C-alpha cells in the first residue's frame, strides 16, 4: 500500500492515505513514480528537453583559433565535434581548456597518433594542449573529442577522428586547471596555420 | 590573423584580431615543441630497431 496522488481524467485529483511511508504519483490510476524509504523510482524518465546542451556551430573556414566561452560552471563533460574540419598547413590541432583567467597552454599530458589501415602509424605528444595529430594539410577531420571532469578541476580527454578513407587519429590526455573551466579553444600547434574548411561545435552536459 | 569567439550561452560570435604578442607567444611555444621532437634520423633508427626485432636480428 501507499499514499497515492492520482491525476484522474474523470475526477481530477484523487488522494488516498495510509501509514506505509510510501507515496505514489499516478496518471489516471497508473503509478509513474514512487517515493519510499529506499528512494525515488521512476517508471519512465521522459524529459521534455535534452540534458545535453549544444553550443553554436561555427564555420571553421577562417581564423587561427576558435573559442567557445561562457561554459557554465556545472559542466562535467564537453564534446568537441569536427565535421569536415581542415587546416591550410601541416600543424597539429590543439584543444585547450581555460578559466576566467584565460586559456591554459601548459601542464597538459597528451599524445595522439594516426593509424593507417595499410602502413602503420605516426604521432606526436604535447604539454601545451590536448594534441590532435595532423601532419598534412590534406587531412579532413570527422569525429569528436570528449573531455570529462574527473575531480576538482582535473580533466581527461579522449578523441578519435576519421581523417581520410584509410586513416584515423586517436589520442588521450589530461590537465589539472587552476580554476573552474569556462572556455575551450581549438587552435593549431604553430599558431599561424588557419582553418580552411568544415564546422566545429561543442556539446556540454 | 584572427580568432573566432563564440559565447555558448548567448550564441554571440566575435572575430578578434590577434595581437603581435599573441602571435609571438604561439610561435615561441611551437619552436620549443619542435625542438623537443625526435629528428628524422632518430625516428628512422627507432623504426630500424623494430624491423630488426621482427627479423630477429637484434
d(CA A152, CA A177): 9
- Per-residue pLDDT of A100-117, as tens digits, reads 999 999 999 999 999 887
d(CA A189, CA B31): 10
Which grid cell sits at A60? 571553421
d(CA A96, CA A128): 8
Q: Give the whole-number percent of chain A exceeding pLDDT 70.
A: 97
Mention every residue, 6+ apart, whose C-beta is less than 8 A from residue A103: A67, A96, A97, A183, A185
Q: What is the DSSP letter of A156?
A: E
Q: Which of B1, B8, B27 is opposite residue A56, by nearest beta carbon?
A: B8
> How many beta carbons lie within 10 A of that of residue A122, not counting itself?
14
Mention every residue, 6+ apart, whose C-beta is less than 8 A from residue A8: A14, A28, A29
Instruction: Let me know: does A192 contact B1? Beta carbons within 8 Å.
Output: yes
* Mean pLDDT of all residues belonging to chain A: 92
Question: Which residues in chain B are closer than 8 Å to A62, comparing Cβ atoms?
Answer: 2, 4
Q: Which residues of A have a CB under 8 Å from any CB of B?
A: 53, 55-56, 58, 62-72, 91, 105, 124, 126, 128, 185, 187, 189-192, 194, 202, 204
Beta pairing class for A102-103 and A154-162: unpaired
* ipTM of the complex model: 0.71
Question: Which residues in chain A are closer than 8 Å to B15, comparing Cβ atoms?
Answer: 63
Instruction: Let me know: does B29 contact A128? Beta carbons within 8 Å.
Output: yes
User: pTM of the predicted model, to two decimals?
Assistant: 0.79
Amino acid at each position: 500500500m501507499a499514499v497515492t496522488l492520482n491525476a484522474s481524467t474523470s475526477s481530477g485529483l484523487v488522494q488516498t492515505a495510509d501509514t506505509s511511508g510510501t507515496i505514489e504519483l499516478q496518471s489516471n490510476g497508473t503509478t509513474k513514480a514512487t517515493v519510499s524509504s529506499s528512494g525515488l523510482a521512476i517508471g519512465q524518465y521522459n524529459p521534455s528537453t535534452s540534458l545535453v546542451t549544444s553550443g553554436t556551430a561555427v564555420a571553421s573556414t577562417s581564423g587561427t583559433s576558435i573559442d567557445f566561452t561562457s561554459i557554465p560552471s556545472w559542466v562535467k563533460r564537453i564534446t568537441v565535434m569536427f565535421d569536415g574540419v581542415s587546416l591550410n598547413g601541416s600543424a597539429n590541432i590543439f584543444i585547450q581548456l581555460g578559466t576566467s583567467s584565460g586559456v591554459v597552454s601548459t601542464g597538459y599530458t597528451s599524445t595522439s597518433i594516426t593509424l593507417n589501415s595499410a602502413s602503420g602509424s605516426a604521432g606526436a605528444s604535447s604539454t601545451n594542449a590536448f594534441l590532435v595529430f595532423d601532419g598534412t594539410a590534406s587531412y579532413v577531420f570527422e569525429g569528436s573529442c570528449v573531455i570529462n571532469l574527473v575531480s576538482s578541476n582535473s580533466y581527461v580527454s579522449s578523441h578519435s577522428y576519421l581523417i581520410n578513407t584509410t586513416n584515423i587519429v586517436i589520442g588521450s590526455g589530461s590537465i589539472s586547471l587552476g580554476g573552474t573551466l569556462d572556455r575551450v579553444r581549438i587552435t593549431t600547434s604553430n599558431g599561424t596555420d588557419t582553418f580552411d574548411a568544415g564546422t566545429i561545435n561543442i556539446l556540454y552536459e | 590573423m584572427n580568432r573566432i569567439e563564440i559565447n555558448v550561452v548567448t550564441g554571440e560570435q566575435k572575430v578578434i584580431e590577434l595581437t603581435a604578442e599573441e602571435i609571438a607567444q604561439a610561435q615561441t611555444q611551437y619552436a620549443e615543441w619542435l625542438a623537443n621532437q625526435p629528428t628524422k634520423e632518430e625516428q628512422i633508427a627507432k623504426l630500424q630497431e623494430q624491423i630488426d626485432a621482427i627479423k630477429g636480428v637484434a
